[in-house]
Amino acid sequence: MENGMKKNQEFTVLIEDIGVNGEGIGKADGYPLFIKDTVPGDIVQGIVTKAQSKYGYGRALKIITPSPDRVEALCPIAKRCGGCQLQEMSYERQLVYKREKVRNNLDRIGKLKGYTLHDTIGCENHYRYRNKAQFPIGKNKEGRIIAGFYAGRTHEIIECEDCVIGIEENKEILKIIIGHMEKYGIEPYDEKTHKGLVRHVLIRKGFATGEIMVSVVINGDKIMACEELAGNLVENIEGMKDISLNINKQRTNVILGDRVVTLYGDGYITDFIGEVKFRISPLSFYQVNPAQTRVLYGKALEYAGLTGEETVFDLYCGVGTISLFLARSAKKVYGVEIVPQAIEDAKVNAGINGIDNVEFFVGKAEEVIPELYENEGIQADVVVVDPPRKGCDERLLETIVRMEPERVVYVSCDSATLARDLRYLSENGFGVEEVQPADMFAQGIHVETVCLMSRKEK
């Protein structure tokens, strides 16, 4: 079949839709083109960068008529960085896009009908909401040490010390660390040669407590004049509570190593989601938008419909965030997670909150749950799942079906795998009742979703 267009051909199109990665979609004589950094309603002049038989990719050269939903990006490097794909789209339109993304996946992949899909719950803060950042450290073409983010699909560092979705303290912290490196001739890490010392800087902040953590990731065992560096950070950064070195000598793209050397503090900071307190170490998983996490978990708790008499299974429980929320309204909660360090953190978090009706297990949920259900006779009234992007293991879904809980609450960070799993459950005795999208990642393409499923009467 002959291509509708050729590479380097120019076009003018009206952007009518948005793709799953946030790119605009327009049709030139019926030929679909995916065009980055465009917004539905834009009339765009552009050039074809890649042409396939049924669709192509284009680059916008000029916005002839801007969409009413187009806004000025707050970040000067938004296009080059690629971390925030939707900064040029009004926030109201972003929320509509995320709801439609969920609906399209549930209808097309899930083949679901008869459910209630609510409007996306928006973030109170569209910027400065992210409590964690990992900045790669390198050199620019002039040989100056820089911090920033990798450009999309590359390992070229785009210089940026003040990400507008991150905390304002990032800029000053990076300035102090880079100043220390320049003073003592400390080289940034070079991926190609595996030489140089400083690889990344990890920064976290507890929004409820104001406590800040800095972890410098190094390709070695120590950094020159580390006491001076720690002293400068403590003296100049309000709320500085924990400073560490993270040792990563591997030739790898993985950012953090397993060994942490504390330079200042207790090895952790604390934060709250609602009334539940969490202890966060440099290697802990913790939600990056705690204000919106409270909203998300509040909805999960509402859908769980707990009266204080229920046994709840929380699968893929991480550091126990949802488990501890549920435990205050349930009779008993069993949390399961494959990462041993996360379960250690979960037990600590239960202890510091005085929550004793929760039990945590290390292992694959699809192996632990059959053991609890079939061998120990523990029956869940409510099952909560919060899996990674790849969704639930099918063996786990089979076990949930066999166990016949009254309700399943599914918390998802990927609506495509969510739709696939809901389809399986809906074909095996459960009905999808309510679906609530929530925006955890303002300016980005991802959307969190909470779904309520109930067991159908036989």
- Give the Cα separation of 232 and 185 in Å (integer): 17
CA 321, 324, 326, 332 torsion: positive or negative?
Answer: positive
Could you tell me where the DSSP H helices lie in 34-117? 78-81, 91-108
DSSP secondary structure letter of residue 4: S
Asked whether 162 and 186 are in contact (CB, 8 A), the reply is: no
User: DSSP 3-state assignment of 139?
Assistant: strand
DSSP H or E stretch at residue 271:
strand 269-273
Candidates 123, 226, 413, 451; catalytic one? 413
Sequence-separated (6 or more) residues with CB below 8 Å from residue 375: none
Asked whether 87 and 404 are in contact (CB, 8 A), the reply is: no
Q: Please indicate whether residue 413 is annotated as part of the active site.
A: yes
- Give the Cα separation of 334 and 340 in Å (integer): 15
User: DSSP 3-state assignment of 11?
Assistant: strand
- Give the Cα separation of 246 and 223 in Å (integer): 11
How distant, in Å, are the alpha carbons of 47, 93, 155, 180, 408 from that of 448? 34, 17, 28, 39, 16
Catalytic residue IDs: 413
